[in-house]
Amino acid sequence: MSFLFGGNNRSVEGSVDPAKVEMAMAELDMITDVFNRLVTSCHTKCISSTPNNHRYVEGELLKGESVCIDRCTAKFFEVNKKVGERMSAMGNAAQSTGTFGR
């Protein structure tokens, strides 16, 4: 993931701020986790579930599979957003009433 650094070659200077590094690592872990779940979910839905692939007669992505992957990822992001919105709405409601999940 060297693209994250934008290719600037600054020399090593200063000290490491543990809090900052901790935050960056948590973000990195989250992104990796989302990506891995996305790959697994869409593979299950688009590739391994089709009877054609129970024995894998084909190594290329078929047209329909490619379309399925595109739609699957788009839906996954939408679900991600929706769940996030619902959860923050619940969080806000809980904060104003002092209860959670009621």
Binding site for other proteins (CB under 8 A): 1-2, 4-6, 10-17, 20-21, 24-25, 27-28, 31-32, 35-36, 38-39, 42-43, 46-48, 53-61, 65-66, 69-70, 73-74, 77
C-alpha distances in angstroms, 60 versus 16, 53, 64? 46, 11, 11
Nearest approach, Cβ of residue 63 and other proteins (Å): 12
C-alpha distances in angstroms, 96 versus 2, 12, 37, 102? 43, 47, 33, 12
Whichever of 22 and 93 has its CB closer to other proteins, that residue is 22
